[in-house]
């Protein structure tokens, strides 16, 4: 059996932890540069706000109903996510983190000593007690069914945060009433195909013969069919590992000089390298792109990107940043007001032993790997960017995003610890 632990309205819930008195009140979190709403509480939905709404278009509603608005703070949310994962790992031996607010728990063998629903309810209570973040949990034979269960647990209070789909009767009932478009693994294209074939509920799809499914759908579609029938076959550890990593940002203020762009690109390259090591991967290809402001027709327009590759795959921050800056110098055009830049790492492989290139320009690669590991440990202990490349600059930058409503990094920065007066 699998359990999916899903944090309820995670970004908003984390903000409410550090801002007492917001229970029952409308709260929303904004995207980069305070552009649009990316997370909101049910109270926000009741007054007409939706995920994706540009904040300037709904500012009248925000002011009228006194909505508490926060700028997104991924450092804070990631730190809380790690705490919740730590609690789960103390309770369940095998955990698979699927996203920042979702984790799968392998409950195989636990049914011999525990009632699974009672056991996971105790885990949920432990998370709430230690972090004050509410969770919804679905328990089922497959991960797809467990995700369905977590949705029911979140939407219906009668489940008391836990929904088990552990019998054939429960499975068929759940697949009868759950929206087909909300099934994990069914995107727009697959949904359109299913509807064109006369299938309108998950149960109708699950009841089809396997030969029919193979004839009409590719491997992911077949896997979804198996999962809906309670046969686990999706390895989220592989899904979680990204095939490409992109770090980009729209600048708070437009920049034109090469030095400011170098700081930004170096920052993005270092961040991408950090993500790469975080998933134990290597990348062979680096792409850098720079865009002018397409909404300012009165300014000169210029968009460019370039891709270069290493002779050997790497996750070395210094090496990746150096190549990214080399690309930037190739594509930079003076006199342009730039609004956005980014770095993409691709051709990603698992970090495992491989044949070295005798012409490798990095001769001390083993020592460099140890250096990166040591820097990661220091940054994880004392806060992100405690140690960083000098080219990233210090202090505030012209290209920093707008974040007028951002909460401090309460969990990772000693200088920003929450104080009670």
Q: Is residue 415 part of a domain?
A: no
What confidence score (pLDDT) does residue 241 get? 59
Closest CA to 186 of 170, 200, 169: 200
Q: Is residue 312 part of a domain?
A: yes
Global confidence as pTM: 0.78
Phi, psi of 257 (to 5 degrees): -85, 150
Q: Is residue 364 part of a domain?
A: yes
Rounded-to-integer distance, Cα 116 and Cα 159, Å? 14
Q: Is residue 398 part of a domain?
A: no
362 and 255 within one domain:
yes
Closest CA to 229 of 172, 162, 190: 172
Give residue 387's domain range. 242-392
Instruction: Kindly report the CATH number assigned to the domain that includes residue 217.
Output: 1.10.150.20
150 and 26 within one domain:
yes
What confidence score (pLDDT) does residue 387 get? 87
229 and 259 within one domain:
no
197 and 150 within one domain:
no
Q: Is residue 201 part of a domain?
A: yes
196 and 56 within one domain:
no
Rounded-to-integer distance, Cα 170 and Cα 130, Å? 32
187 and 110 within one domain:
no
- Cβ atoms < 10 Å from Cβ of 201: 16
Examine the fold and report which residue of 102, 134, 163 is the final residue of a domain before the chain moves on: 163
- Judge contact between 136 and 127, C-beta under 8 A: no
- Cβ atoms < 10 Å from Cβ of 96: 17
Q: Which two tokens stand for residue 421?
A: 């007066």
247 and 219 within one domain:
no
Instruction: Kindly report the CATH number assigned to the domain that includes residue 104.
Output: 3.30.70.270
CA 366: distance to chain centroid?
31
What confidence score (pLDDT) does residue 242 get? 64
Rounded-to-integer distance, Cα 165 and Cα 144, Å? 11
Examine the fold and report which residue of 136, 163, 190 is the final residue of a domain before the chain moves on: 163
Instruction: Kindly report the CATH number assigned to the domain that includes residue 261.
Output: 3.30.1490.100
186 and 108 within one domain:
no
107 and 228 within one domain:
no
Closest CA to 168 of 200, 201, 143, 141: 141
372 and 288 within one domain:
yes
Q: Is residue 405 part of a domain?
A: no
Q: Is residue 401 part of a domain?
A: no
Per residue of the chain (421 residues), give pLDDT as tens: 999 999 999 999 999 999 988 999 999 999 877 889 999 999 999 999 999 999 999 999 999 999 999 999 988 999 999 999 999 999 999 999 888 999 999 999 999 999 999 999 999 999 999 999 999 999 999 999 999 999 999 999 899 999 999 999 999 999 999 999 999 989 999 999 999 999 999 999 999 999 999 999 999 899 999 999 999 988 766 555 567 899 988 888 889 999 999 999 999 999 999 999 988 899 999 999 999 988 888 888 999 999 999 888 899 999 999 999 999 999 999 999 999 999 999 988 888 765 566 566 676 777 888 899 999 888 877 777 788 889 988 877 766 777 788 888 888 777 787 777 6
179 and 227 within one domain:
yes
Place of tokens 């636990």: 110
Phi, psi of 261 (to 5 degrees): -65, -35
Q: Is residue 351 part of a domain?
A: yes
Sheet with 68-71: list strands edge to edge: 37-40, 27-30, 68-71
313 and 375 within one domain:
yes
What confidence score (pLDDT) does residue 355 get? 59
Start-to-end CA span in the chain (Å): 47
What confidence score (pLDDT) does residue 379 get? 84
Examine the fold and report which residue of 163, 191, 222 is the final residue of a domain before the chain moves on: 163
Rounded-to-integer distance, Cα 88 and Cα 94, Å? 9
Place of tokens 């049914």: 111
Q: How many domains does the chain have?
A: 3
């Amino acid at each position: 059996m699998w359990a999916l632990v899903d944090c309820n309205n995670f970004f908003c819930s984390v903000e409410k932890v550090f801002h007492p008195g917001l229970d029952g009140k409308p709260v929303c979190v904004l995207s980069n540069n305070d552009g649009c709403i990316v997370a909101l509480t049910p109270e926000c939905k009741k007054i007409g706000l939706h995920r994706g709404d540009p904040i300037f278009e709904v500012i009248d509603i925000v002011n009228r109903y006194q909505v508490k608005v926060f700028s997104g703070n991924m450092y804070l949310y990631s730190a809380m996510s790690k705490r919740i994962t730590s609690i789960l790992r103390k309770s369940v031996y095998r955990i698979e983190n699927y996203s920042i607010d979702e984790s799968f728990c392998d409950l195989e063998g636990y049914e011999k000593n525990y009632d699974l629903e009672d056991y996971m309810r105790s885990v949920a209570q432990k998370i709430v007690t230690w972090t004050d973040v509410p969770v919804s949990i679905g328990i089922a034979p497959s991960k797809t069914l467990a995700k369905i269960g977590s949705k029911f647990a979140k939407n219906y209070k009668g489940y008391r945060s836990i929904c088990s789909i552990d019998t054939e009767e429960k499975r068929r009932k759940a697949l009868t009433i759950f929206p087909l478009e909300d099934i994990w693994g069914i995107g727009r294209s697959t949904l359109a195909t299913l509807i064109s074939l006369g299938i309108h509920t998950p149960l109708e799809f699950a009841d089809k013969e396997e030969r029919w499914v193979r004839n009409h759908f590719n491997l992911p579609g077949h896997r979804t069919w198996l999962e809906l029938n309670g046969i686990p076959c999706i390895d989220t550890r592989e899904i979680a590992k990204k095939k490409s990593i992109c770090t980009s940002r729209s600048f708070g203020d437009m920049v034109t000089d090469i030095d400011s762009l170098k700081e930004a690109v170096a920052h993005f390259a270092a961040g991408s390298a950090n993500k790469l090591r975080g998933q134990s991967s290597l990348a062979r290809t680096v792409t850098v792109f720079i865009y002018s402001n397409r909404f300012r027709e009165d300014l000169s327009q210029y968009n460019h990107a370039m891709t270069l590759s290493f002779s050997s795959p790497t996750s070395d921050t210094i090496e990746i940043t150096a190549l990214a800056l080399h690309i930037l110098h190739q594509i930079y055009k003076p006199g342009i007001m730039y609004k956005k830049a980014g770095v993409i790492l691709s051709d990603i492989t698992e970090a495992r032993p491989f044949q070295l290139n005798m012409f490798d320009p990095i001769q001390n690669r083993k020592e460099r790997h140890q250096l990166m590991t040591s820097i990661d440990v220091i940054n994880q202990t004392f806060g992100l960017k405690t140690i960083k490349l000098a080219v990233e600059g210090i202090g505030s930058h012209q290209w920093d995003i707008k974040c007028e409503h951002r909460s401090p990094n309460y969990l990772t920065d000693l200088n920003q610890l929450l104080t009670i007066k």
